[in-house]
Structure 1
Amino acid sequence: MLDIDDQTKSAERILAFRDEQGDVAQDFVQAVADAIDAGDADRAQELVRPLHEADQGALIEALPADVRARLIELLGDVFDFAALTEVDDSVREELLEELPTETVIEGVKDLESDDAVYILEDLDKEDQDEILEGLPATERIALQKSLDYPEDSAGRLMQTELVAVPPFWTAGQTLDHLHATEDLPDSFFEIFVVDPGHRLLGQIFLDKLVRSPRIARVDTLMNTERRRVHATDDQEQVARVFERYNLVSAPVVDEAERLVGVITIDDVVDVIQEEADEDVKALGGVSSEEELSDRVATIARSRFVWLFVNLITAFIASAVLGLFEGQLQKMVALAVLAPIVASQGGNAATQTMTVAVRALAVRELGAGNALRVTLRESFVGLINGIGFGLLTGLVASIWFHDWNIGLVICIAMLVNLVAGALGGILIPLTLEKFGADPAVSSGVFVTTVTDVVGFFAFLGIATLWFGLS
């Protein structure tokens, strides 16, 4: 047992892991790297033992790639394999390839089932089978069953370790069972009540259980109205259920309503962060799989597709300019002002598109309110179009000493901001209807619409107004 001085030193080591900005302290990383180079397992364990699994993961990412696996081997039992759930996918995959299979098997044995599935699910089937074969039969069967569920489903997210009791037990029997059982989940919030077929009847939170008389039967204490999720439910749907009903945990049942696992709030927080990360990347045309730790070639290849699509749409917008080549040569002001109209429409459309994509993602926008939201965004575009049209027209009139050019750009600005608002809402809705991901695809098409409409409206109106030919 640590004395007070040892505890103080351990606390200092934990604090020293982060610098004043909250980043991994470079002197700490260097100390660990020096211990790895020297093969000093005792020193490495002394430094890493006090760290939380999340900090161990941050340390791994901060180390050079060629020493990460060596650190894990030096740490032995001190290394918490749950730290591998805290690192980028590419880092985890590289580590699992480098580490001996026996090391991975021993590490997975100590994990809760949800963390074990998270680590195993991205491996090749051959590597999965090799690791599963090294696990005890009960763990192997449970993990294999979770891996058989669809990707990004509740079955992949749940942990199978839980406490279930029959309805005829008393509160006293249940508490005695908890005291006598060694193989309990590391943390849990509730006791589940199941029938002989393991179908879920209800659940009891621990605080209610410990406050109840020992002679009270659990079927009189259980709550039968608590929300449950099905193993095949998508993880986004699960996250919405947790958010809507303020859940801390939720039972997972199969198609026969048999209890198969439980999902806790810490896993749902990861899902929310993951889905938000995917949506932000998708709006920028970046693959959801891209990580900061990826290689240059991998990143360049993943970004190429949408850059190529954007190039094609840029040629389409340029072709519109080509239709008015003669007019542009006759009036330089048109060439100077045309990009302003297109740019302002693109910005307005992006604002609308961001709201629409987010609303579609959280199921706030659908057939029931699509018309109302479209009309609302159209009126917003109209109001902003009038305001910015008048402002831009005034500036253009003063700039080029011609009120006619101001009037033309004012009308074009109004047209393009309304078009941008309509495009920003209708394009995501259309893509969603046809099964495409609006977060990934909307940006390029919306930009094309505002560029084409902006250039065509401004130059077309100018041609009619000034009689250019």
Structure 2
Amino acid sequence: MMSDAATTPAVEDNRLRGDFLRAVEAALEADDAARVRELATPLHPADLADLFEQLATDWREPLAAALGDMLDADTLSEMNEWVRDEVIATLEPAQVAEAVSEMDTDDAVALIEEMEPEDAQAVLDEMAPDDRVAIETALSYPEESAGRLMQRELIAVPEHLGIGQVIDWLRDHPETGMDFWEIFVVDPAHKPVGTMRLSWVLTTPRDIPVADVMQREQTLIPVTMDQEEVALRFQKYALISAAVVDEDGRLVGVITVDDIVHIISQEAGEDILKMTGAGDGDINEPVLDSYKARVKWLIANLGTALISSTVIAQFEGTIEKMVILAALTPIVASIGGNAGTQTMAVAVRALATDQLTEANTWRTIRREIRVALLNGLTIAALLGLGVAVLLGNMQLGAVIAAAALFNIMVAGLAGVLVPVTLNHFRADPAVASSVFVTMTTDTMGFLAFLTLASLAGLTG
């Protein structure tokens, strides 16, 4: 009788089933490579990549050895980069070179650029000259640029051809073996002059010239453009694919929307993790790398916390007279911190998507101040009334209400000004904004509440 793992689907709700993972582990422990391959055969490459990621680190090398040639280009392309580095380290350069040769240029470049220089060179040395030159050319462009992101495989035709000639050429050259949505039209200098969607080609009579069908207006991507800017262009103009041109305007590659979806997800995730100082935030990242990425921001936060503590120390006498102030002070700082984080998240996202520019900065600041005022009045009323009723002290309620309103207003202002200022000085606002915004709201919250309490002459 076949086991449950063999007779039930391995994937449920887009996740590998627990019993399937245990079956694979049991086969690996028994050194049964045939059983491992039997279990893995039905898996989609993305699910096979998940299998490597879900298993413990100790099982990854035996799994790669058991799979052999099943560990192909599609699986490596889908694999988490940290896990892929571990797996590639167990393979021979010739085996990696064979897989890389089967990838689109953009996927091959993404794999090679993550490898150690000596390992990458060993793989390149095993590749066919044409494939090696294509990857080395892409690697010559800046990191996270269109040149690294693009794939060189594309279809380009001259505009003097007829639609029938284009179709015949495509049928006579099946070796291209690529997926494409648009055909690029180029002039004799190989500069793009237009595009044709496949639907146009298939529905146009054969005798119609390409020049009469193509769309001349197109969005061209400079080869050195940052990938985040490329993603913004795809979003803004609803592109499916776009031509990449070199400094002379010649067509050198194409970027497709599937690559952009990955970039958008990657950039959004990076910004969120940067705001928290969590580094790459990948659960497969080595412990020491995670430690190095996170500890520097914790040290920075320690420094800013000392500033807030210094403010509190200046009001030691006031706190001694009314000890309840020590319990209420963190509330004012915490509310301001949360308000600042909300505004900062909106501002950082707006900067990343080009919604917040020099032209509308002050309009955005005025908007956030109005939002902060409404939030501040609401929270101040609730907090002040609650303190007055629970502690039976109307004066203390008024003081904490005024301090909360002031700190939320400060938070709204800092949440915009800090990211905008950092962006102006070419610093990444997603990285450092949270440290400065938190310091501002904590310090001003403590200062406002304790100053007002001191001026009001509150005593126990």
In the alignment, which residue of structure 2 is the partner of 1:293?
284
Identify which range, 188-197 or 311-320, moves more after superposition: 188-197
Percent of pairs identical after alignment? 43
Normalised by the length of structure 2, the TM-score is: 0.94
- Which residues of 2 match residues 380-459 of structure 1 at below 5 A? 380-459=371-450
Deviations 1:365-412 (A, max 9, x none): 011111111111112222222222222111111222221111111211
In the alignment, which residue of structure 1 is the partner of 2:50?
58
Q: Is the 8 A contact 2:322 2:458 kept in 1?
A: no
Identify which range, 188-197 or 228-237, moves more after superposition: 188-197
Q: What is the rounded CA distance, in whole Å, between the counterparts of 1:47 and 1:305 in structure 2? A: 44
In the alignment, which residue of structure 2 is the partner of 1:173?
165
Deviations 1:308-352 (A, max 9, x none): 000111111011000000110111121121111111111111111
Alignment equivalent of 1:115, drawn from 92, 107, 114? 107
Q: Kindly tell me the number of residue pairs found equivalent between the two proteins.
A: 456
Identify which range, 63-72 or 352-361, moves more after superposition: 63-72
Alignment equivalent of 1:87, drawn from 79, 90, 95? 79
The alpha-carbon deviation at position 125 of structure 1 amounts to 2.4
Deviations 1:231-254 (A, max 9, x none): 111111111111111111111111
Q: What is the rounded CA distance, in whole Å, between the counterparts of 2:162 and 2:359 in structure 1? A: 49
In the alignment, which residue of structure 1 is the partner of 2:263?
271
State whether structure 2 residue 59 is matched by structure 1 residue 33.
no
- Which residues of 2 match residues 253-402 of structure 1 at below 5 A? 253-287=245-279, 289-402=280-393
Identify which range, 159-168 or 382-391, moves more after superposition: 382-391
The alpha-carbon deviation at position 14 of structure 1 amounts to 10
Q: What is the rounded CA distance, in whole Å, between the counterparts of 2:8 and 2:257 in structure 1? A: 27
Deviations 1:118-159 (A, max 9, x none): 111111222222211211111111111111111111111111
Q: Is the 8 A contact 2:396 2:458 kept in 1?
A: no
Change (3 A) 1:221 1:13: farther
RMSD of aligned C-alpha atoms? 1.9
| Equivalent AA in structure 1 for residue 428 of structure 2 | D
Q: Is the 8 A contact 1:432 1:438 kept in 2?
A: yes
The alpha-carbon deviation at position 39 of structure 1 amounts to 4.7
Change (3 A) 1:169 1:38: farther
Alignment equivalent of 1:16, drawn from 9, 13, 28? 9
SS at match of 1:149: coil
Identify which range, 92-101 or 151-160, moves more after superposition: 92-101
Q: Is the 8 A contact 1:89 1:291 kept in 2?
A: no
Q: Is the 8 A contact 2:182 2:196 kept in 1?
A: yes
SS at match of 2:253: strand
Q: Is the 8 A contact 1:282 1:439 kept in 2?
A: yes
Normalised by the length of structure 1, the TM-score is: 0.93
Change (3 A) 1:118 1:204: same
Q: What is the rounded CA distance, in whole Å, between the counterparts of 2:238 and 2:164 in structure 1? A: 29
Specify every segment of 5 or more residues in structure 1 that has no aligned partner in the other structure, as ranges: 1-8
Specify every segment of 5 or more residues in structure 2 that has no aligned partner in the other structure, as ranges: none
Q: What is the rounded CA distance, in whole Å, between the counterparts of 2:104 and 2:286 in structure 1? A: 31
Alignment equivalent of 2:188, drawn from 181, 190, 196? 196
Identify which range, 435-444 or 69-78, moves more after superposition: 69-78
